[in-house]
A = this chain, B = another copy of it.
Amino acid sequence: MTKRVVLAYSGGLDTSVAVRWMREEWDVEVVACAVDVGQLVPGEEDAIRERAVAAGAVEVEVIDAREEYARDFLMPALAANALYEGRYPLVSALSRPVIVEHLVASARRHGATAVGHGCTGKGNDQVRFEVSSRILAPDLEVMAPTRVWGLTRADCIDLAARWDIPISASKEKVYSIDENMWGRAIECGVLENPWSAPPAEPFTLTRDPADAPSESRSIVIGFEAGVPVSLDGEALGLVELIGRVGELVGSYGWGRIDMVENRRVGIKSREVYECPASLALILAHRDLEGITLERDLAREKQRVEIRVAELIYDGLWHSPLMGALGAFVRETQTHVTGEVRLGLAPGRCEATGRRAPRSLYDHDLATYEAEDSFRHADSEGFVRLWGLSAETWSRRQGPGRS
């Protein structure tokens, strides 16, 4: 029986050519599996199906994974305020594990013994695909045709033409783009020079601030146990809420990132992102935590957040360490319930107010007004013992030694 592989199918040039190439070169049956994590536009599904069939797929699946992606992947990341290197909300990194979950399920449905992907050999996504696959289904082989085929973009276009795969692609591809509900990643072209400022053209989710509404406005995001549940008082499902926040914030031209980041494989790459929804939600979530997390918990959580972001970036979403860190993070979210007001203006998005039914901000303790409930006399003893260890050090080893 011919071996069967489920390929993560984007509908683009590379994976379309890969469908046929794998059949030709490796004599395998290819199931094309497109997982929608928010990147598909309405109507795109049919075109994808047709193209996969034309490329020779024995089966095509288009799976709407948006709700699941938002609930089971984006929300844990939001709870951890996950930003790789303090900046990148892990747009691509978060989508790979959910895609692999569907590839594996599809492989089981179709009796496949392998899964495949179109990642190159120097990026992070191969790591995420393969590690997730080996964890979820150690028995499945992982095939990576594009990593070994040695084809240039021009070669691919020629093959597509020869094989009658209906796809329009220019030989000069300017940018490499990956997109989903959490944002959009832009690489290559002029961006490969980290001194060059990013041009205006590749951005689609964020308007140029110069074209933003001149009127500033506020929005209020409501959270329950760390999860955003409402916008300006209107209860919304996650997919809808993320979408609307992204549109609003993006319309004010906020949410772009320009950075050089460290890939897992050991190289630095210049990346440009636009992530209005994810950055705004993390900003609001973190701000709400400011009044709902106890100090020591908040301090330790900062360290955990860094580790969570590294793990997601490094392809270890499905690892047991992620499970344990997730347990920590979940435990912190119980009372992250309340509202945050975001002020929007051209090129800006800022938290301007926050409130919570179980806020730990205590006006009577904090106020400098006369009627405060803080026992000032406690401070003297506190400060002396807080510094006693360092004071003793000073007397024996430091500046105060005799």
A residues near B (Cβ < 8 Å) are 85-86, 120-122, 126-127, 130-131, 134-139, 144, 147-148, 152, 176, 187-188, 192-198, 209-210, 218, 256, 258-262, 264-270, 286-287, 290-303, 306-307, 310-311, 314-316, 318-321, 323-332, 334-335, 341, 343, 345-348, 350-355, 358-363, 365-370, 372, 374-401
Contact = CB atoms under 8 A, between A and B. Distances in A.
Contacts of A301: 324
Contacts of A365: 122, 267, 388, 392
Given A268-B366, A372-B122, A378 B385 contact: yes
Given A296-B319, A331-B323, A378 B387 contact: no
Contacts of A391: 131, 134-135, 138, 266
Contact of A378 (B259, B292, B381, B392): B381
A321 B299 CA distance: 9
A320 B297 contact: yes
A63 to B, nearest CB: 19
A384 B121 contact: no
Given A194-B361, A368-B187, A147 B394 contact: no
A141 B346 CA distance: 53
Given A137-B400, A296-B320, 14 more contacts: A86-B86, A126-B379, A131-B383, A134-B394, A135-B391, A267-B365, A268-B291, A294-B390, A297-B319, A299-B306, A301-B324, A348-B348, A360-B392, A378-B381
Contact of A195 (B192, B265, B346, B353): B353
Question: Which of A270, A290, A325 has the largest count of B CB atoms less than 10 A from its CB?
Answer: A290
A372 B365 CA distance: 35
A323 B290 CA distance: 19
16 contacts: A120-B376, A127-B386, A131-B391, A135-B400, A136-B394, A138-B391, A195-B355, A259-B287, A260-B354, A266-B295, A296-B311, A324-B329, A346-B347, A347-B348, A379-B385, A382-B385
B379 A147 contact: yes
Nearest to A390: B319
Contacts of A267: 362, 365-366, 374, 388-389, 392
Contacts of A390: 131, 134-135, 294, 296, 316, 318-320
Given A134-B390, A135-B390, A362-B268, A383 B122 contact: no
B324 A297 contact: yes
Contacts of A351: 258-259
B347 A398 contact: no
A7 to B, nearest CB: 17
Given A302-B86, A319-B390, A386-B382, A396 B296 contact: no
Contacts of A126: 379, 383
A321 B350 contact: no
A300 B319 contact: no
Nearest to A147: B376
Contacts of A315: 386-387
A297 B353 CA distance: 36
A270 B361 contact: yes
B384 A378 contact: yes
A265 B376 CA distance: 10
Question: Nearest 6 A-B pairs (CB), nearest first?
Answer: A381-B381, A266-B388, A121-B376, A378-B381, A131-B387, A262-B295
A266 B353 contact: no
Nearest to A372: B122
A104 B94 CA distance: 43
Contacts of A392: 266-268, 294, 360, 362, 365
Contact of A393 (B147, B198, B360): B360
B396 A359 contact: yes
